[in-house]
Amino acid sequence: MLEIKNLSVSMDGKTLLSDINMTVAPNARHLLAGHNGSGKSTLAATIAGDERYRIEAGKIIFDGRDITNENATTRALLGIFLGAQNVPEIPGLTWLSFLKHSAAAHAHFQTGRDLSMGEFLTKLESARTALNIPKEWLNRSVNVGFSGGERKRMMLLRLVMTAPRLAILDEPDSGADADTQRLIARTMHEMKDTAFLFISHQPNFTDQVCPTARTIIGGGKIAG
């Protein structure tokens, strides 16, 4: 699903990742481990296409396609999802509108046809119910006034609605209560057609996810 070949990355002239080689198998729950500051979040953001990071060498191959020079929008439409640690607040844009535009863009890119409102609402209601998300949250501005755990649930809703080929989750358990952590782990198990690359420092959460593979980063390099 994902192959990283000899990847080196910098920011503002400083090397952050050096000669990274890693693969993520289809349907994997792949743990990216390492101490704070080791380069895990940098790697996650680089795979997703964050333009703050400069690729100095190497390639990123996704589902057989070289996406090294593709922008973040194209990578997202191809099926790469990033659940970041720090998510922006967007006053004035409701979750309902945000999810509709996102779902419509993905549907058109993948099938060439427009997504009907009926199809969208049916899928949204099913996902919302499964994740125990109150309906009124959908009419609130994106992440404005949401607690850490609530933001994680809305990230899960976006994940389920998008149904990506690869989901990169950067500390999805951070700021989430025990019930939300269990919900995240359960969702990762239930999404059989999605490969997960996730970062976590909490053994209790990691044990619930039951990683199928593990890569350790230290000092911007593969350590194990």
Q: Tens of pLDDT along 105-123? A: 888 887 878 888 888 899 9
| Residue-range domain boundaries for the chain | 2-222
Question: Which band of pLDDT confidence, cut at 50, 70 and 90, is reported for residue 223?
Answer: confident
pLDDT at 99: 93
Q: What is the SS3 assignment for 209?
A: helix
Q: Compute the average pLDDT of residues 71-84.
A: 93
195-199, strands of its sheet edge to edge: 80-83, 166-170, 195-199, 29-33, 213-218, 221-222
Question: Which band of pLDDT confidence, cut at 50, 70 and 90, is reported for residue 86?
Answer: confident
Looking at domain 2-222, its CATH class is: alpha beta
Question: Which band of pLDDT confidence, cut at 50, 70 and 90, is reported for residue 98?
Answer: very high
Whole-angstrom distance, CA of residue 43 vs CA of residue 30: 14
Residue 224 predicted with pLDDT over 80: no
Burial 173-196 (b: 16+ CB within 10 A, else e): beebeeebbebbbebbeebeebbb
Could you tell me which of 218, 216, 159 has the C-alpha nearest to residue 185?
159
Q: Tens of pLDDT along 135-167? A: 999 999 999 999 888 999 999 999 999 899 999
Q: Tens of pLDDT along 167-203? A: 999 999 988 889 999 999 999 999 999 999 999 989 9
pLDDT at 104: 87
Q: Tens of pLDDT along 21-61? A: 999 999 999 999 998 888 999 999 999 999 999 999 999 99
**What residues form DSSP beta bridges with 7?**
20
Entry pTM: 0.91
Mean pLDDT of the chain: 92
